[in-house]
Chain A
């Protein structure tokens, strides 16, 4: 049972992190390099999951993906109570961390270098992939690790929108919840130790990526 929860957690975390890295980096680039009206509102909306209660995020997701929601109306699929819903729950709560990390990392890249590439004839995508991205990589990797750690730890919104179905949507955090409810403290301790360890490792990796500490 615990093994299944572990595999589901990995699956959900990997897919959610890939989504978050792509969307978060794009949003970070936009916020760092482009001025447009309503930029603060845009940023505030992206940051919102960081402060909203998990139940509120879960409720939004239910209305959006659930029966009678826009996704069901447009595509005729209802992902509620499937692992895909767990992916979206994890991705939404992890996104603000990636956006912040990407924005800071990209802002730290000297625009002079980007402009130099442009004067040498590089197209915009080439500038991004050959200059901006390599120079911002430390911050982006740190953001990726942090997002993955947050996605792995998602509980509240997942419980609401994906349910707690053993072998299908039960991730490690939900598994711990069930184990405690059923007083299986042995397994609970094991998984708690595993999740704590993974959290610690994430922050150690992020710490080592900080150039200031790596001289």
Chain B
């Protein structure tokens, strides 16, 4: 009898719970719609301020720099100096030159491309994706063999890599990263490529190859001089005759909506401040040769 009396109340309670649940869901759905519309509206606003004409209204202009991974320490130092001088904000997109080139060819919204090769710039030029006459070489990089401070190894020549105390060597991806290509060429010229095959760990780009060595997960990194100059550890230069020179070229992308700011950045990088920083990180400047 108690059960009989309890039953209807229990059902009513469940019904109430059902109503509450339904109401809650409606409220949540409404909130969701509202949030979405605000989000879309605010996106529209930022898109409007991205417009070059409204840039003078106080919002700082942002330019996107796609840069080869070996430039990461250079840009880290240079970016704040440039932003301070020009009031333009830099957004850097680091990767392997080949990957960045593909992104630009696929229509990525980029203003300046700092490649680690000349061939990537040439290929984009052939596709008419660059501002005519904007391409130029800004420096020549060097390939080094790097070991970290704690490493007991002493690697001076490429032949030292054959030793059994070296079990893993990182390089940048030889298919699409210029420093990886140079590493492969150097090892091929030295006649060691096939022999060292089983030791080689390719990174996505030269910065990842360096990170592999920096964390001690590989013994030696065949990486860019610019990455290791201030990183501690020990490095030995790979003889330049063993690979094609790593001439690094830049260009302004034709689809850029901030061409004058892009030019300003290129002028800064190739001007006194930029040249000094590039030199500091081991780049050989075009006129020095």
Least CB distance from A213 to B in Å reads: 29
Determine if A191 is an interface residue (Cβ-Cβ < 8 Å).
no
Residues of A within 8 Å of B202, CB to CB, are 163-165
Q: Which of under 10, 10 to 19, 20 to 34, or 35 or more describes the interface residues of A?
A: 10 to 19
Residues of B within 8 Å of A80, CB to CB, are 217
- Bound together, the chains give a CA A163 to CA B216 distance in angstroms of 14
B167's nearest neighbour on chain A, judged by CB, is A78
Residues of B within 8 Å of A57, CB to CB, are none
Determine if B160 is an interface residue (Cβ-Cβ < 8 Å).
no
Residues of A within 8 Å of B203, CB to CB, are 163
A169's nearest neighbour on chain B, judged by CB, is B201
Binding site for B on A (CB under 8 A): 62, 66-68, 78, 80-81, 163-165, 168, 178, 181-183
Q: List 6 A-B contacts (CB under 8 A).
A: A66-B216, A80-B217, A163-B203, A164-B202, A164-B204, A168-B198
Residues of B within 8 Å of A183, CB to CB, are 102
Residues of A within 8 Å of B168, CB to CB, are 81
Residues of B within 8 Å of A165, CB to CB, are 200-202
- Bound together, the chains give a CA A181 to CA B203 distance in angstroms of 13
Residue from A68, A81, A181 in contact with B175 in the complex, judged by beta carbons closer than 8 Å: A181
B176 touching A181, Cβ below 8 Å:
yes
- Bound together, the chains give a CA A164 to CA B201 distance in angstroms of 8
**Proximity bits, B113-134, A CB within 8 Å = 1, else 0:** 0000000000000000000000
- Bound together, the chains give a CA A81 to CA B216 distance in angstroms of 12
A66 touching B217, Cβ below 8 Å:
yes
- Bound together, the chains give a CA A124 to CA B201 distance in angstroms of 49
Q: 7 closest A-B pairs (Cβ-Cβ)?
A: A67-B216, A80-B217, A81-B201, A67-B217, A163-B201, A66-B217, A182-B175
